[in-house]
Chain A
């Protein structure tokens, strides 16, 4: 239902000291999320995945490229005409501490969008409270406990669940979930993910999942697609299982190598890819952006920009001159 082509975004920091530093958040990203689809953007903070999520949700402008919703190019519409399109896409914020107004009770936070919804659909006022309770139950909260409370009286996890409930108030067609479960209790995360999966299956709601936790992306559905993003470029893209079981880009391999192994329950993967530099603090923009940290980089990597493509006959696309499958992922213990 939404596609993007060649999306770029550069943030310009104004400031006398730094002399207007530029941060290139996105450097030409193509993506597509179908109706009821599950797409996950994976990468470290600062890779541009959050910016891309905000652009998809219509909360951020982009510099070049085209976003189309149901085939309608958004550039062809005036800003006001775009609104009904983007209203169908709801963002679940990364930070539950700042997403809710601290001076309003949860009841107020949910009732405001629900009242609007009730007016639009001609429902009686009593529906508002009923629906608020229903939505809270859906996200695993006790309405009686939560509704009269203020955000500061709830734990971080509860707050995030309220945020998800609020996103559901407008019956969206797509949810952009930005690290939506990272602050939720471990035993409840799967419940929220199952809820997102359920919303996909039953209502055809698409889910764009933005995370650094690849395993949770896997849970959203085996038909899901994974985009691995590094410094504003997609470096690997394909079916979740293909990318997770046989990553070919060294950056994807570094990400998967860094995932803790549950020793005792799991055996570590046979190989382990560790970036040669712990952090990327900018560096030259020529060639492959990961080359500076890549243990397998060659001269070509710093000179030429690798383009995302299917070279090498892998089931996924990648942007690497030297793609090679490496088994970096832990396997259940006891398996030969």
Chain B
């Protein structure tokens, strides 16, 4: 590896390969896994959404991209290979500090609150520039102003403002500006729209998509909200109990979820149309650090398809075309008629949930016609 990491050439989005990543937190009960054996690839130029509830390990996973897991946590195994940067797990000290910001832009959870309340946005921008040894601070300010303008804000005015003078949606855009202003091409957005209104959220998500395309980024969005992922992400990874339980193209996963957790999660989100009675809460609750089962499937406590195999064997990730699912029950299902091609996938759907869902849809459609 070169002494100083080369800047990623403009317009070239880096790919990221996370392999066997485990992060543990030291507790009085010993070291407990927050992230456990995660394999995830972010193809260059794509937006990947990681969906999970609190304690799923999604934020810890995101921090690992910066090698920024704080003690008592530590990356205990695996690697995070970023094009043009190498394995960030191996980076230390100054190298790491420079990589953050220059290569990897990070918009923190609740970016609304991550600004210094006593300094104007402009002053904080200059601090950022100095700490990264930017020589041409004027150019940096110009770039920031352009970025803010691109996001529909009056750049000059925002740079002269303190946090309290900006609305939630404006602060979120300031957060995105800070993540991009040093020309990072890998951007991590942790809960980018939490605490924002619907209309503002729609605006921010549109901005994320547009800026992603215009600047040629690789983007990772961490969220608890399936809707956010559905709106922006090309690919979706569902996390539960520190593991990725299902991943694949967003549309495919939403149309035909294979993992019982993904199914349960989708069913637990109330929708605007259709029979609201079909919405079902998932029984039980997500595991916390101390209650994640050490062996077997992490979801089994809440799973309607629980089998003996789920108690001891960790379900391997099984590929179904572009999809990968870690579930013993899904794997067994697949072993039947076989082949997992698109045809079979559609067939499966008719056979199981499809029939039930269709029935509901017909009722809803009927009700709708009556109203019209």
Contact = CB atoms under 8 A, between A and B. Distances in A.
A and B: interacting chains: yes
Interface of A: 44-45, 140, 155-157, 182, 185-191, 193-194, 212-216, 218-219, 222, 244-246, 254-266, 275, 278-279, 329-336
A335 B371 contact: no
A140 B286 CA distance: 11
Interface of B: 53-55, 152, 167-169, 195, 197-203, 205, 224-228, 230-231, 250-256, 264-266, 268-274, 276, 279-282, 285-286, 288, 357-358, 361, 364-365, 368, 371
A323 B299 CA distance: 48
A262 B227 contact: yes
B167 A265 contact: no
A335 B361 contact: yes
A244 B270 CA distance: 13
Contacts of A140: 285
Contacts of B203: 278
Nearest to A251: B199
Given A216-B270, A261-B231, A264-B253, A157 B54 contact: yes
Contacts of B269: 186, 190, 215, 262
A188 B285 contact: yes
Given A44-B197, A188-B282, 18 more contacts: A44-B200, A157-B54, A186-B224, A186-B269, A187-B265, A190-B281, A193-B270, A219-B279, A244-B272, A260-B228, A263-B251, A263-B254, A265-B230, A278-B200, A329-B272, A330-B272, A332-B271, A335-B361
Contacts of B255: 264-265, 333
Among B54, B195, B358, B371, max chain A CB count under 10 A is at B54
B55 A212 contact: no
B371 A246 contact: yes
Contacts of A189: 268, 281
B81 to A, nearest CB: 30
A219 B273 CA distance: 11
Contacts of A244: 272-273
Contacts of B251: 263-264
B43 to A, nearest CB: 19
B361 A186 contact: no
Contacts of A194: 281
24 contacts: A44-B200, A157-B53, A186-B224, A186-B225, A187-B285, A189-B281, A190-B279, A212-B198, A215-B272, A219-B270, A256-B272, A258-B202, A259-B227, A259-B272, A264-B251, A264-B252, A264-B255, A264-B256, A330-B273, A331-B273, A332-B271, A332-B274, A332-B361, A333-B255
